[in-house]
């Protein structure tokens, strides 16, 4: 009730939630009380969390930030939602996001931008901007997000919270509306690494309904939180501290690294030579996959249908032109172009080859270090509208996060102080495949 009250008071300013349903939330809370009374409670029983509006939740409006799904009531639960229900967590509502998770500022949402609780003139980052804002403004105890190119880590950094994108395949994508299927991965956003570990314990696990879900034993991600860091080797890629990084963000990250030295870590200089190709490669591959995934929104099966049309083709065209926003249309056009006959070899195939080289860079780097560190984002939160009419400027806000998705590696962001404008700075920690427990340990020791 206390969180619902805070949402009622503050959400009109932050616009972090798109849908709340006090009746459902309070009924779940009452059920959690029962579990507590009978001694059947688990770690997250009764904990009020927020769900990104990309996850289908039975009976809940599930919009993915789009006019296309503005009235869509999901008929089934995503794997992630099922897992939280099973754990007895309370769903406080669905959080705002960039349309179909395409964006870095939450400004592409059909339902209006989200505001950063540290300064309401600033963006919260994106695409999981509603989740980050809700956690930072204490409108939930923790939240879920998804990360295709940085959408958990970048908003976590800009809002001063902790977020982790697990190894690709760790969390089932069943019921999570697809953007770029070979990159999409769900993860938690919370106030600390410890809370993220508890959330991850619930979210992970094999699910046969997602063909990329990995068959691995369930892990306890809290198991290493208190391990000392003596002997830890931290790799610093020189490409992450080059041109484009704002001075204050660079300074805070260096101070955090000095702190790690005091905790017993050793610092190793490394190189990820193909880093500069990550953004261009991503903006070929992600739109290609999106153009295919979004073909299902045709006005026939579900979602928005234009009110007036002449024939079937006209109905498709009008429904999609009216239902999708500008950024989504831009991606569909780029994706269709790079996949078309005559351009496929020049763009799509080339990008796939470079993706392999980018992954190989990390494999080589992890021969020399246990984790990689650097900034999460090149700057602190920018103001609403500041990068609005320049898509390339917006795309560059993910220069340090995107390569991690292309390689399928786990990455996280933790707060490490404030920039000259008093806005939060994020430290990125990148781990080797399946090394989430160690990353959470590294984050927890600093926090
Ligand atoms: N900002 C990137 C994009 O617009 C990444 C988004 C994401 O991770 N979902 O595609």
Q: What is the mean pLDDT of residues 277-284?
A: 97
Question: Domain limits at 194?
Answer: 2-203
Average pLDDT, the chain: 97
Assess if residue 424 is contained within a domain.
no
Residue 215 belongs to a domain: no
In this predicted structure, the answer to whether residue 389 has a pLDDT above a threshold of 80 is no
State the catalytic residue, choosing from 25, 66, 109, 151. Answer: 151
pLDDT confidence of residue 16 = 98
Mean pLDDT value across residues 130-144: 98
Does residue 392 have a pLDDT over 90? no
pLDDT category, 390, cuts 50, 70, 90? Answer: confident
Active site residue 94: no
Per-residue pLDDT reduced to its tens digit, 14-65? 999 999 999 999 999 999 999 999 998 999 999 999 999 999 999 999 999 9
Beta bridge partner(s), residue 51: 94
377 — pLDDT class (breaks 50, 70, 90): very high
Q: Give residues (CB < 6 A) around ligand 1.
A: 101-104, 127, 147-151, 179, 286, 398
Is 52 part of the annotated catalytic residue set?
yes
CA atoms within 13 A on the CB side of 56: 17
- 151 noted as active-site residue: yes
| Whether pLDDT at 388 is above 80 | no
Confidence of residue 118 (pLDDT cuts 50, 70, 90): very high
User: How many Å apart are CA 69 and CA 165, to the nearest integer?
Assistant: 25
Read off the pLDDT of each residue in 237-257 and give the average, rounded to a whole number.
96
What distance in angstroms lies between residue 261's CA and the mean position of ligand 1's atoms? 33
CA of 150 to the centre of ligand 1 (A): 6
Query: Each residue of 58-70: pLDDT tens digit?
Result: 999 999 999 999 9
**Nearest atom (ligand 1) to Cα of 179:** 9
CATH of the domain at 169: 3.90.1300.10
Number of domains in the chain: 1
- Does residue 393 belong to any structural domain of this protein? no
pLDDT at 302: 87
- Residue 417 lies inside a defined structural domain of this protein: no
Q: Rounded to the nearest whole angstrom, what is the distance from the C-alpha of residue 38 to the centroid of ligand 1?
A: 43
Closest residue (by CA) to atom 10 of ligand 1? Answer: 102
Assess if residue 274 is contained within a domain.
no
Residue 41 lies in a domain: yes
Whether 406 is covered by a domain: the verdict is no
> Cβ distance 204 to 434 under 8 Å?
no
Which residue among the candidates 66, 127, 192, 377 is catalytic per the annotation?
127
Residue 395 lies in a domain: no
Res 393: pLDDT: 85
């Amino acid at each position: 009730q206390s969180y619902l009250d805070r949402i009622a008071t503050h959400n009109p300013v932050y616009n972090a939630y798109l849908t709340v349903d006090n009746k459902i939330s309070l009924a779940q809370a009452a059920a959690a009380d029962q579990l507590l009374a009978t001694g059947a409670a688990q770690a997250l029983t009764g904990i009020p969390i927020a769900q990104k509006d990309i996850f289908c939740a039975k009976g809940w409006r599930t919009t993915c930030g789009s006019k296309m799904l503005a009235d869509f009531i999901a008929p089934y639960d995503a794997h992630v939602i099922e897992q939280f229900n099973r754990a007895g967590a309370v769903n406080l509502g669905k959080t705002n996001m960039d349309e179909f998770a395409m964006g870095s500022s939450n400004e592409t949402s059909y339902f209006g931008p989200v505001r950063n609780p540290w300064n309401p003139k600033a963006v919260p980052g994106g695409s999981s901007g509603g989740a980050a804002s809700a956690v930072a403004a204490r409108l939930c105890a923790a939240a879920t997000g998804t990360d295709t190119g940085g959408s958990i880590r970048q908003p976590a950094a800009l809002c001063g919270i902790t977020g982790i994108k697990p190894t690709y395949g760790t969390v089932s994508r069943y019921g999570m509306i697809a953007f770029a299927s070979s990159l999409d991965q769900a993860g938690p956003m919370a106030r600390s690494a410890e809370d993220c570990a508890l959330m991850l314990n619930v979210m992970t696990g094999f699910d046969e309904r997602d063909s990329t879900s990995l068959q691995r034993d369930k892990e306890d991600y809290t198991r290493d939180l208190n391990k000392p860091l003596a002997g830890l080797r931290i790799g610093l890629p020189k490409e992450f501290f080059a041109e484009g990084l704002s001075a204050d963000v660079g300074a805070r990250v260096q101070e955090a690294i000095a702190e790690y030295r005091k905790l017993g870590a050793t610092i190793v200089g490394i190189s990820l030579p193909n880093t500069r190709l990550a953004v261009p490669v991503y903006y070929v591959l992600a739109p290609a996959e999106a153009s295919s995934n979004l073909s299902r929104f045709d006005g026939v099966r579900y979602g928005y249908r234009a009110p007036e049309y002449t024939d079937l083709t006209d109905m498709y065209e009008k429904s999609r032109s009216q239902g999708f926003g500008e950024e989504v249309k831009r991606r569909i056009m780029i994706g269709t172009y790079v996949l078309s006959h005559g351009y496929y070899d020049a763009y799509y195939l080339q990008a796939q080859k470079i993706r392999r080289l980018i992954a190989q860079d990390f494999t080589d780097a992890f021969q020399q270090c246990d984790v990689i560190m650097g900034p999460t984002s090149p700057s602190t939160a920018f103001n609403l509208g500041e990068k609005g009419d320049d898509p390339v400027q917006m795309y560059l806000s993910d220069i340090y996060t995107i390569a991690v998705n292309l390689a399928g590696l786990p990455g996280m962001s933790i707060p490490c102080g404030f920039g000259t404008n008093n806005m939060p700075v994020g430290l990125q920690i990148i781990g080797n495949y399946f090394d989430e427990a160690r990353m959470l340990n590294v984050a927890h020791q600093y926090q």
